[in-house]
Amino acid sequence: MTELKKIDPTRIRSFIRRQGRATAGQKQALESHWDKYCLSPQADFETGLAFGRQAPLIVEIGFGNGDSLAAMAEAHPGLNYLGIEVHRPGVGHLIMLLEQRGIGNVRIFHHDAVEILEQKIPDQSLAGLHLFFPDPWHKRRHHKRRIVRPSFLDLLNKKLAVGGYFHAATDWQDYAKDMLKTLSADSGLKNTSPTGDYCPRPDYRPLTKFENRGLNLGHGVWDLIFTKL
């Protein structure tokens, strides 16, 4: 068994643990099915053992309540999906969805995503990495907390297989511009947009009720998809 290395406590984190209160259904899912879907951050990670098979691995950082992750996994049973989330009620909600729909190709880490990527995910092993609607840290003094920054791209380049992709989506235009600038400056990544900026929402990314509500109010959403060279 491999324990997670201690991380420098002064390192800037891109999230805040907002645990909130789990519903009765989420609590039951957490108590009854944790071991079925959730992986220990203290144990070794090997996809064949975790999923019971070998298949292309897609990681989603910060899956929220898990609606979109469950929908993608259900629509693409030939892929393995690994969700990483620090919000415990969100983990419970995703487990509940997986049980209700009989979805078996999802596993979960309830932990800091950067630490999991650094210490558990083998290099050049990911077919894709999703980052949908991350905290935009919209105040300028908090921009240093945004997850998409050069140090994260160094990690991304290590973990993606050649031809693997990184897909980010945000409803904050300023963050979209910032991500586009940062990603475009990385020589190891190629923008898949034919216009060199943003992509239309691909069919595999579900339209969530919150996103749809925002679109109905006239809010924009920007998708960025880059591949590893």
Model confidence pLDDT, tens digit, residues 34-92: 999 999 999 999 999 999 999 999 999 999 999 999 999 999 999 999 999 999 999 99
What's the CATH code of the domain at 73?
Answer: 3.40.50.150
Percent of the chain scoring above 70 in pLDDT: 88
- Of residues 219, 211, 176, 214, the one with CA closest to residue 197: 176
Lowest average pLDDT, out of 1-10, 67-76, 148-157, 163-172, goes to 1-10
Q: Is residue 1 part of a domain?
A: no
Print the SS3 string covering 157-202: HHHEEEEEEEEEEECCHHHHHHHHHHHHCCCCEEECCCCCCCECCC
CB contact burial 192-218 (16+ within 10 A = b; e otherwise):
eeeeeebbeeeeebbebeebeeeeeee
Q: Is residue 182 part of a domain?
A: yes
Q: Is residue 9 part of a domain?
A: no
Q: Is residue 19 part of a domain?
A: no
Find the mean pLDDT for residues 142-162: 90
Structural domain including 219 reads 33-40+52-228
Q: Is residue 95 part of a domain?
A: yes
Q: Is residue 183 part of a domain?
A: yes
Q: Which residues does residue 166 pair with via DSSP β-bridges, in sequence order?
A: 129, 226
Which of 134-138, 177-181, 212-216 has the largest mean confidence?
A: 177-181
How far apart CA 147 and CA 111 sit, in angstroms, is 15
- The H-or-E segment that residue 25 falls in is helix 24-37
Domain count across the chain? 1
57 and 47 in contact (C-beta within 8 Å)?
Answer: yes
Give the catalytic positions in this structure.
135
Q: Is residue 63 part of a domain?
A: yes
pTM of the predicted model, to two decimals?
A: 0.90
Q: Is residue 194 part of a domain?
A: yes
